[in-house]
């Protein structure tokens, strides 16, 4: 599926000299259910242990969102 994101100087990430873009992290604030916090911590600890690199709540949320949007064909 084609990327429907508008890529210009206002899109929030950098573009190289060929017009290609790099998606970076954009700080946002979200509200979660209280039961999500221990689940995020547990998954972060699991991934840190299994992958031998540090994972935090934000990384777990990004992973979950990536899977969610990928399954819907919204990102690749």
Rounded to whole angstroms, how far apart are CA atoms 9 and 74?
A: 22
Termini Cα distance of the chain: 8
Residue-averaged pLDDT of the chain = 83
Phi, psi of 33 (to 5 degrees): -65, 145
SS3 of residue 22 by DSSP: strand
Please give the pLDDT value at position 76.
86
Residue 1: HSE in the Cβ half-sphere, 13 Å Cα cutoff: 11
6: number of CA atoms within 13 Å, CB side?
A: 4
- pLDDT band for position 74 (50/70/90)? very high
Flag whether pLDDT at 11 surpasses 80. Answer: no
How much is the average pLDDT of 34-57?
98
Average pLDDT, stretch 47-57?
Answer: 98
Domain spans, the chain: 36-76
pTM as predicted: 0.68
The predicted pLDDT at position 67 comes to 97
pLDDT at residue 1 greater than cutoff 50: no
């Amino acid at each position: 599926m084609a990327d429907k994101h508008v890529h210009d100087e206002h899109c929030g990430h950098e573009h190289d000299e060929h017009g290609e873009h790099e998606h970076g992290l954009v700080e946002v604030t979200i509200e979660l259910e209280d039961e999500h916090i221990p689940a995020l911590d547990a998954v972060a600890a699991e991934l840190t242990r299994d992958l031998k690199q540090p994972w935090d709540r934000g990384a777990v949320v990004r992973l979950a969102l990536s899977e969610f949007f990928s399954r819907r064909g919204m990102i690749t």
